[in-house]
Structure 1
Amino acid sequence: MGNARLKVIQWATGNIGRRALRAVIEHPELELVGLWVSAPDKVGRDAGDIAGTAPCGIAATNDVQAMIATDADCVLYMRQGTDIDEVCALLASGKNIVTTRGDFHHPRSMDPVMRARIEEACAIGDSSIYSTGISPGFVTEALPIVLLSLSRRLDCLTIDEFGDMTSRNSPDLLFNIMGYGVAPAQFDQRKIDYVKHDFAGSLAQLADAIGLDIDEWDAIGENSAARHDVEIAAGTIKAGTVAAQRITITGMAKGKPALRFRANWYCARDIEHSEWELRESGWRIRVEGDTPLDVHITFPVKPEDYAAFTPGLTGHRAVNAVAAVCAAPSGIRTTVDLPQVIAQL
């Protein structure tokens, strides 16, 4: 790449987007050339001010057309919800996209109309788009590919994700979106379909790569109530209300589980389902087959630093993928067909 830096637009500045923005500003081989924001009070502010760095001379805007007209190699697309019209316009303008949205992990299982529109935009702009992040993404694609490179027979891959929410001071997220603190019978089961969409798509990419034929994808959602009142950073979880949830996505092959992702997310460990295994935040990845493995990943971070640490888990991989996506052929790209994402520190 020589001395030429890749020109990047950051699209949205939530927790993850703001961390990605800072990473772009500080990256030795990337140049921030634009910043799109959704919040009116951020419009006009310097990107460095929003990211928590020194001013960099790039003012935030909510003008989509201005960003489409901006000369850039890549857009880091991290807004709430995927706007297909917006995405297609960016791709058709010649800009590659790396996104933390989970809509593009497995092109074959995408809505056919949506897929056709995206592929047409990529063809017009000679551009590519790639979905990644930590989960789904790294832990459901990049890491299993490496682990399974040791195997010649796979009986079952199980990924358990553990998420301790007790130190997360996000009342709206925990109580209104994720459904903690409500009566178990009032728990919104629609979130199971949301989790299934993203994680089944990611695991289906892995299944295709290793030649595994999945007959069907099952999704099961469970919740468990707190046995006592619990005070967490976001508020109070009353006894008898939802304090933990477990969502399991399973790919069945010939009537047996072959690929499994299980989200174990909780605001308390003293719950009615005392048999549930609720570990500290991280993952346990088990490979059952001719080369069995049991991998444990945790985060050696102080509780008070946790909220500041976690956005980087998702945002940094997206930033690190920019160069590979910009160099890739046009179209919907995946972890399988991209070269390994390597950080340039």
Structure 2
Amino acid sequence: MSSTRTGDRVLRVVQWATGNIGTRSLRAVIEHPTLELVGLYVYADAKAGRDAGELCGLPPVGVKATRSIDDILALEPDCVLYMPQRTEADDLCRLLDAGINVVTTRTEFHLPARMDPALRERIDAACTRGGASIHSTGSSPGFITEAVPLALLSIQRRLDRLHIHEFADMRSRNSPEMLFDLMGFGRAPNPQADAGRALHLRHAFGPSLQAVAEAVGLAFDDIEAHGEVALARRDTRIAAGEVKAGTVAAQRATVNGLRNGKPLIGFTANWFVTTELDRDWDLRGDGWRLQLDGDAPLELDLRFTVAPEHKAATTPGYTAHRAVNAVAYVCAAAPGIRLSSELPAFIPDLRRSGG
């Protein structure tokens, strides 16, 4: 397996999907010095036929969006940045079968052993036939659950426990439908919703945490997850509306990989719209805190130093940019579903094209 990227050879890239993350990824590819945007796949009819530059706030670049995978295959790109809301196995297999590498922010491919067996079999076979590779990454899971832990573990000879805490202050998010209707803020506690969040976290983060454990020669006995909420102590006005006292104002979901019956590597997501809660959760500003107990114990705080008014414009880059920076390394890798531990650290090329 190659341990390097493809040097300064220009790689021909297709962006697949233009949601918040995909739009930021699209812009980053256009501005990248050694990536050439050759295609754009979209899901909305209203976006089809429009110039890729215009769809991400840049001048026209001469690449038109399409809703046809046949158009994408005809381009014969080196890589597709695959960022849809859900994975379509048929589309992925057609891309890989055609020898097109894939970098994705979808979470299904962090650890082959935990994939749906039928999906894994199809993807493995397509990679083999096409000589292509696929890699899942992003900020979380990805950067904070794999890249950072593996770096911290490089100075350990014993791991007792590693836990990652993620904090998301959502009070400046002006999205009533997402916060109130989808996430359940400002509503009465709902144990079924708590269990659903925990199950989602288990599926999304469990494989990533297990991949780190297995990379350092350890194994999980099981993966457990649970969710809980805290309530507002008083009526609180946020950008999306009002959160009444006694309703959900903070949500926490935790997933733990167990070894010998005890948590070994875990992740806790903390989402909140106020810190005036009926429980003491030690909530912090947006970012991550990692606690590592071993023979070289560490605690690491990573804060997002983004002003609230700039969050919407900035935060998609945390996920999109890592995927863009992975392209050269995934294109240079051996065929198959590639794990973070099998790839070198992603070193970005920060030169600006034309500048």
TM-score (structure 2 length as normaliser): 0.94
Matches of 2:208 and 2:340, distance apart in 1: 9
Q: What SS does the corresponding residue of 2:94 show, helix, strand or coil?
A: helix
Verify the 8 A CA contact 2:21 2:316 in the aligned structure 1: yes
Residue identity in the other structure for 2:267: F
- Relative contact order, CA 8 A, sep 6+: which one is greater? 2
Contact between 1:179 and 1:187, CA under 8 Å: does it hold in 2? no
State whether residues 207 and 213 of structure 1, in contact with CA within 8 Å, keep that contact through their aligned partners in structure 2: yes
Contact conserved, 1:68 with 1:90, CA < 8 A, in 2?
yes
Q: Distance in 1 between matches of 2:242 and 2:46?
A: 31
Moved more, 27-36 or 57-66: 57-66
Give % identity: 53
1:243-263 deviations in Å (ceiling 9; x for gaps): 111111111111221111011
Q: Which moved more, 1:65-74 or 1:157-166?
A: 65-74
2:197 touches 2:253 (CA, 8 Å); kept in 1?
A: no
**Bigger shift: residues 244-253 or 312-321:** 244-253
- Find the aligned partners of 1:80 and 1:27 in 2 and give their Cα distance: 25
Alignment of 1:1-345 (within 5 A): 1=6, 4-185=9-190, 188=193, 189-273=195-279, 275-345=280-350
- More off after superposition, 22-31 vs 81-90: 81-90
Deviation at 1:4, TM superposition (A): 3.4
Secondary structure of the residue aligned to 2:80 is strand
Residues 186 and 290 of structure 1: CA distance in aligned 2, closer, same or farther (over 3 Å)? closer
Indicate the SS of the match to 1:67: helix
5+ unaligned residues in a row in structure 2: which ranges? 1-5, 351-355
Within 1, Cα distance between the matches of 2:181 and 2:191? Answer: 12
Cα distance in 2 for partners of 1:35, 1:302 equals 31
Are the aligned partners of 1:167 and 1:307 in contact in 2 as well (CA < 8 Å)? no
Question: 1:187 Cα shift?
Answer: 5.5
Contact 1:37-1:62 within 8 A present in 2 as well: yes
SS of aligned partner of 2:65: coil
Residues in 1 aligned to 2:121 and 2:344: alpha-carbon distance in whole angstroms: 24
TM-score normalized by the length of structure 1: 0.97
Mapped contact 2:210–2:219 kept (Cα < 8 A): no
In the alignment, the residues of structure 1 paired with residue 166 and residue 221 of structure 2 have an alpha-carbon distance, to the nearest angstrom, of 24
Residue deviations 1:123-170 (CA, integer Å, cap 9, x gap): 111101000000000000000000011111111001111111111222
The structural deviation recorded for 1:281 is: 0.6
Q: For residues 185 and 28 of structure 1, what CA distance do their matches in structure 2 show? A: 49
Rate the CA distance shift 1:81–1:50 in 2: closer, same or farther, 3 A. same
Q: 1:186: how far off?
A: 6.4
Deviation at 1:329, TM superposition (A): 0.4
Taking structure 1 as reference, are residues 2 and 317 closer, same or farther at Cα in structure 2, changes over 3 Å only?
closer
